[in-house]
Chains A and B, each alone.
Chain A
Amino acid sequence: MENSVIVIGGGISGMTAAGMLALQGLSVTLLEKEKETGGHLARWDRLFPDRRKASEVLDFAREGMKRVNLVTGVTVTDISRQGREFTVVINSPIPNPQSPTPDHETVLKARALLLATGFDLFEARKKEEYGYGIYNNVITSADLEDRFKLKKGILTSEGKIPARIGIVHCVGSRDEKVGNLYCSKVCCVTGVKQAIELKEMLPAAEVFNFYMDLRMFDRHFEELYYEAQQKWNVNFIRGRLSECAENPDGSIIVKTEDTLTGKPFKITVDLLVLLTGFVPAGSTGDIAGMLGLVTGTDGFINSADSHIMNNSTDIPGVFVAGAVKGPISIGEAIADARAAAIQLAIYLNSPTPADD
């Protein structure tokens, strides 16, 4: 098929890029391993910093994908390159396959690939001392977002309204003990957003954020932090969670150092929220392996150049967008996906691409 592109990954980056490429008249197939597109964004209730509904952003991206050939519920099992053509094998039959193959797989051809396999959330159980999966009142930020979205109210596992809630920053990030030295970038602002939302729902509750640095890197983020302090009286304790224990009544004892007073700090909370960070998606490693693409020591894909070739890779015709390259916000992912779409279209339109 002429000018065809395969986008792997149907989160916000893959959806945005696929839509942009199709709008430029290219024939685009989007492969997604889940039944639905939307990735992590589909789990969010409201987005930082302005708390617009995540569903609006998702609807916009879906609207843009009308001309994209969407294939969901499939896994890529093999990729090979023959000159400027790629062969991608997926693990299930789809209607109108481009070449006859055994009925448990389909072979697709493309002139360019866009990898948008995104990220997985850090598995909070790995931080055993934090008690996720052991103590019922320890949940993750994604669990909390689910509760916001389902509008079922915030209760402890004993059915009580929590009087005190702790929010723990850097869970699975900035932590050599779990092998992740990097910062996940968006959990700080997520923690501040969720603290405000908890206070809105439960004005009588006390909320404590345990942080090491508050990385309010983008426009309006610092103001959100200010609002959390000034309007909502959220407490910020500068110290990393060292360990938790459970009381007989199900409440959680949290231990940190309050590094600003230089004393060990202990507090009992009714609910503890762990801000779990990004890890490279499992499928990223698989696909990088099939293509022979280089990942960093952190497992995210390295682009050809972090400044000026940020959507290209060392393999001509293979492009990258979004969290496949590391932690990124929704707004940034959309901008990055659009940039990737333009780079990819230029590559396809040029007879002898500069990077070939």
Chain B
Amino acid sequence: MIDFGYTITKDRQLDYDRGDMRYYRLVQSLEPSVDVCMECGSCTATCSAGQFTEFNIRKAHTLIRRGNTESIKAELRKCMFCGKCQLVCPRGVNLRNLILAMNRAIELLG
């Protein structure tokens, strides 16, 4: 490749117009409570996996809702399925089933 002396930086924005909403739609059908999250962060604050890695369960399901699934595929494997997040959620989001649903969507849709 010819070196023109510059590189092209990848766009950082969450481009909703190009988002892949198939994951969200599937997750939503499997666990509708995903829609009532108020982004309070209780789940992430209490998550053991999130204390030691970059894994952020709140951001993971928010990114799916934004149509941006790529970045969380590897992240989701860090969840230990302990259910602490669900115990503290003030909106009653069924987080354990939500995590299963997210994994299922990734399994089915690649």
Contacts and interface: CB of A to CB of B under 8 A. Distances in A.
A232 B88 CA distance: 32
Interface string B37-63: 011111111110011000010110000
Given A239-B40, A264-B50, A255 B90 contact: no
B73 interface: no
A40 interface: no
A242 B39 contact: no
Interface residues of B, number: 20
B77 interface: no
A174 interface: yes
Nearest to A180: B90
Contacts, number: 65
Contacts of B43: 257
Contacts of A177: 88-90, 92
B91 interface: yes
Nearest to A258: B41
Nearest to B41: A257
Given A176-B90, A177-B90, A242 B45 contact: yes
A255 B45 contact: yes
A257 B38 contact: no
A257 B90 contact: no
A240 B41 contact: yes
Nearest to B38: A212
B42 A257 contact: yes
A129 B90 CA distance: 13
A212 B41 CA distance: 9
A72 interface: no
A84 to B, nearest CB: 45
Contacts of B45: 239-240, 242-243, 255-257, 264-265
B56 A262 contact: yes
A143 interface: no
- Residue from the set A174, A175, A257, A263 with the largest chain B CB neighbour count within 10 Å: A257
B71 to A, nearest CB: 12
Interface in B12-49: 38-47
Nearest to B90: A175
B90 A243 contact: no
Given A240-B90, A262-B56, A174 B38 contact: yes
A80 interface: no
Contacts of A235: none
A242 B46 contact: yes
B46 A239 contact: no
A259 interface: yes
Nearest to B47: A264
B35 to A, nearest CB: 14
A330 B14 CA distance: 44
A33 B45 CA distance: 42
Interface of B: 38-47, 50-51, 56, 58-59, 88-92
4 A-B pairs closest in CB distance: A257-B41, A242-B45, A240-B40, A257-B44
Given A176-B90, A265-B45, 20 more contacts: A174-B38, A176-B89, A177-B88, A177-B89, A177-B90, A238-B41, A239-B41, A239-B42, A240-B41, A240-B42, A240-B45, A242-B41, A242-B45, A255-B45, A256-B41, A256-B42, A257-B44, A259-B41, A259-B58, A262-B56
